[in-house]
Amino acid sequence: MKAIKVGLLGLGTVGTGVVRIVEGHQEDLSSQVGSPIVIEKIAVKNISKSRSINVDKDKLTQDPWEVIRHPDIDVIVEVMGGVEETKPYLLEALERGKHIITANKDLMALYGSEILAKALEHQCDVFYEASVAGGIPIIRTLIEGFSSDRIMKIVGIVNGTTNYILTKMSQEGASYEDVLAEAQQLGYAEADPTSDVEGLDAARKMAILGTLGFRSNVELRDVSVRGISSVSKEDIAYAKQLGYEMKLLGIAERDGEEFSISVQPTMVKSSHPIASVNGVYNAVYVYGEAVGETMFYGAGAGELPTATSVVADLVAVIKNMKLGVNGVKAIAPYKPKKLKSDEQIFYKNFLLLQVDDKAGVLARITQIFAEYDVSLDSVIQTPNEQQPGAEIMIVTHSASKASLNKVINYFESLDVIRRIKSIYRVEG
């Protein structure tokens, strides 16, 4: 049996996991694909660096082009990260007829359509299961499992760092700053956590899921993004008081052919299954027109969970090679992009207002909501013990984003409202 030879770009956390699984599960993998799998060449930044696995030094190179242009390599596994510097490697690999497996969400969110078009042109596979939600097989599920259905809504906890922070804030009543510092010490958050806490990482993943779910070319700029850095422990306490948990959710939903995609801290009803997803775990809820509600849960990062998705893609590529069907499963977006306007985006909202504590204030506030066609689900007014005045918690019924923006603009000019302390979407 001729061995299938693999080139690996990157030997960090995920790359190490890929080597560990391919070498440790060789008998199982060979029985599935009918051939041994050999990692032939590995591009690394530093050949002499000490590593947690033993790798033949002759297989290491500091030149990625040596891997891409190696005549015996059939499949390129890219786990080095980067966008502009990595894209040329993958495009040339496809031009040379090599199949691609990548865990690079940034690259696929920005240039996925171009890479998939190149793959189609050269009849190559490009698989990227590990780019979203680590070990959860959500991409294959959207492409294959929902192939006969019409996806109407995708809701995801797709960033483990922010979910860890919000979980700790909820369970321990800790502040955002304290939990972030702890997450950095534990290695869950980067020294510069901006991409995670400001929602950019989740937005890239939702662009990928939206493209697959709606079969339209969703770009990063199409995703409305708000992070968790402004979420306070008081906000979470109020949410719990009302029966909600705070989660950073990616939400993609459509009506007809028009859709919207956002990432934002959201108050989720405690009875909803996604509200109980805690720590660094990820979950993706998918609503299909035919199947109804489904949810997928698992480890969203880490060496072996992510590497498992990479190697599963590798098995799929090799099976396609044996059948001679490479390049036929790539689903390039084929539907025109029709984004919803603010007038077409509807959801419930939570508002926390700091107001003057005097007669007529609440009546005036409810009147303004009515003027802009925003009906109210619940209103709770409490005295503020720290400051003069009162606090009003409001949960609206589903209202358009445009109407709520008009209400907020009006409130900002109203003397009796001292401060709009918080605004959050409400789900479930």
Establish if 333 belongs to a structural domain.
no
Contacts of 423 (CB under 8 A, 6+ apart): 349, 350, 351, 352, 404, 408
Measured distance CA(267)–CA(425) in Å, rounded: 6
Establish if 291 belongs to a structural domain.
yes
97 and 19 in a single domain? The answer is yes
Contacts of 233 (CB under 8 A, 6+ apart): 169, 173, 174, 175, 176
66 and 175 in a single domain? The answer is no
Residue-level pLDDT at 329: 66
Residue-level pLDDT at 58: 93
pLDDT tens profile 378-389: 999 887 666 678
Measured distance CA(400)–CA(374) in Å, rounded: 8
229 and 280 in a single domain? The answer is yes
Catalytic residues: 205
Q: How many CB atoms lie within 10 A of CB 252?
A: 27
Question: Which domain CATH number covers 266?
Answer: 3.30.360.10
pTM for the predicted model, two decimal places: 0.90
pLDDT tens profile 394-415: 999 999 999 999 999 999 999 8
155 and 268 in a single domain? The answer is yes
- Tell me the sheet residues that pair with 75: 6, 99
Establish if 328 belongs to a structural domain.
no
Please tell me the chain's helix, strand, coil percentages from 3-state DSSP, rounded to the nearest 5: 40, 25, 35
Tell me which residue has tokens 């977006």. 333
Of the CA atoms within 13 Å of residue 424, those in its CB half-sphere come to: 28
156 and 183 in a single domain? The answer is yes
Number of domains forming the structure of the chain: 3
Domain interval for residue 168: 138-299
pLDDT tens profile 259-283: 999 999 999 999 999 999 999 999 9
Q: Taking a C-beta distance cutoff of 8 angstroms, is the pair 130, 105 a contact? A: no
What number is the average pLDDT over the span 325-351? 89
Question: Which domain CATH number covers 407?
Answer: 3.30.70.260
Residue-level pLDDT at 387: 67
15 and 142 in a single domain? The answer is no
Establish if 336 belongs to a structural domain.
no
